[in-house]
Structure 1
């Protein structure tokens, strides 16, 4: 099985912590140079120091606010001039604030679309020409199992994740002939700060002890536990590899079997 990404360059968004950092870690282990993207320069500096360099990889970072689409266009354009072809794009951004759809402010929806949909589209437009020229490209979007089964209390997230999924499927059909694949990976309950915050909020709302609530949540997952970021990152890294060249336009849940539909 060819998992070798030596000589490839990957731009991984949200890579300073959580699922994004896990993806950057696993992609680097396959030999790729990683460009870690996040808003926090300090966290990014630490993140790239911990990435594997045993195959001569050279890692760098780009501090960027994905909700600022003009900044995304400018910064990524400059980055391409500096590094040349970027073969792999992992789109990932922090989840929008939770809450019921009916109470959601329109400005929050607009910001979420800029962060998750428009910025992903701009980066793809900038990176795909280089992928075409190289005859190799991978775009992986980290979204949510809500694209299959909407999650109560995550109104904005349900909305924008579905938009990303449909954007990705449309684009996958258009550029697959150039050796470029586009896939969505859907995290279930994974041991991150984001999940801890959401479960803490839900436990408090129900007047339950946080630790007991987490145990109850884990017991409802067929795997019987919360997932680890490294397990999610491994799935993303595989989709970025040469071995996954014929997997295109899919939604892949990495959720221990939790999603209740096919």
Structure 2
């Protein structure tokens, strides 16, 4: 299938590693002009080199902290200027810390909101003029399977990731007349550094081995295994492509059958 991404301009946030990097690689393999953003310049340069080698495509980099609205504005503008516009925006951000309700004070909730939900709002706001000019713009918001089923010990993520899907559904109505499709892609257990970190945290709390935590988690997944970043990235690329012509406002789980909700 031709995804119609060759020559398209794509901006992927928080893409120096993990799900963002895998998504950027998937777009680059389809011939898109990709710009990746992250706070860490060293990691960005490493990711750029790895994507370029794997996809045979040049990749732009911009430093951007999703907690800084000025950096968001400047990064998206720089990417659009360098690539002659913007066709696809992939929003993404590192997750807020794990914990239960009693663990967090007001400032933790405020930071979690700004990191997870407000950063998505800001990125979309800055990208919209370019996406409207593109006529067939696409937005993919990366969230979490917690938008369908809350994850124990991740209350901040549970609350604000759900807000991302509320934003997606609302904007699908507002942006349709401009030809912009917007969807949320929600990972379940994908083998990233964050998942490994959470596994180690649970292992320490429960005085068990990480291997036991991993095996237990995999037993809850219909396919019996943790997904790969590459598997996730391919789904993001599809929903951000011109091959997707009639799906908007949706939440797509990439979870191997982990979530049992209808």
In structure 2, relative to structure 1, the CA distance for the partners of 1:107 and 1:85 (3 Å cut) is same
8 Å contact kept, 1:68–1:114: no
The question of 1:118 aligning with 2:112 is answered no
CA drift of 1:225 comes to 0.5
The question of 1:68 aligning with 2:68 is answered yes
- Indicate the RMSD between aligned Cα atoms, in angstroms: 1.7
CA drift of 1:206 comes to 1.3
- TM-score for the superposition, normalised by structure 1: 0.94
Number of aligned positions between the proteins: 262
Identify unmatched segments of 5+ residues in structure 2.
Answer: none
The question of 1:197 aligning with 2:197 is answered yes
Question: Within 1, Cα distance between the matches of 2:215 and 2:5?
Answer: 38
- Between 45-54 and 250-259, the greater mean CA deviation after superposition: 45-54
- TM-score for the superposition, normalised by structure 2: 0.94
Superposed counterparts of 1:202-213, under 5 Å? 202-213=202-213
Residue 94 of structure 1 aligns to a residue in which SS?
Answer: coil
For residue 51 of structure 2, what is the aligned residue in structure 1?
A: 51
For residue 255 of structure 1, what is the aligned residue in structure 2?
A: 255
CA drift of 1:154 comes to 0.4
Superposed counterparts of 1:230-245, under 5 Å? 230-245=230-245
8 Å contact kept, 1:10–1:33: yes
Question: Within 2, Cα distance between the matches of 1:34 and 1:243?
Answer: 18
8 Å contact kept, 2:11–2:79: no
Residue 202 of structure 2 aligns to a residue in which SS?
Answer: helix
- Between 120-129 and 61-70, the greater mean CA deviation after superposition: 120-129
Superposed counterparts of 1:81-230, under 5 Å? 81-230=81-230
CA drift of 1:116 comes to 2.3
